[in-house]
Amino acid sequence: MRPKRELTRVVRTPDGRAVLDPSGRLAGRGAYLCDDAACRAAAMKKGALSRALAIAIPDALRAELLGPVAPMMMKDEGGAGGQE
């Protein structure tokens, strides 16, 4: 298990938006991703973040989380039977 300082928190706010939470204090359902690019890419590919937050991850947030690997990962997210 990694310390929280090595993780990035993503929150589904009460109004249904998915946003980064650098302070770790935003209200809403939160999920943590490791700061490693390969780890984030795997989470997106498997649909883990979408499942944890129970919403589809917006393309802008996906690009922000993935950085330079975003175009490669955009089309290949799995998850709930491809219904995201």
Give tens-digit pLDDT for 21-42: 999 999 999 999 998 999 999 9
- Model confidence, pTM: 0.76
Q: Is the pLDDT of residue 12 over 90?
A: yes
How much is the mean pLDDT over the chain? 85
Which pLDDT belongs to residue 42?
A: 93
Q: For the chain, which domains are there?
A: 4-66 (3.30.1230.10)
Please enumerate, as own/partner, the contacts of 8-15 that have beta carbons within 8 Å and a separation of 24 or more: 8/32, 8/33, 8/34, 8/35, 8/65, 10/49, 10/53, 10/61, 10/65, 11/53, 12/53, 12/54, 12/55
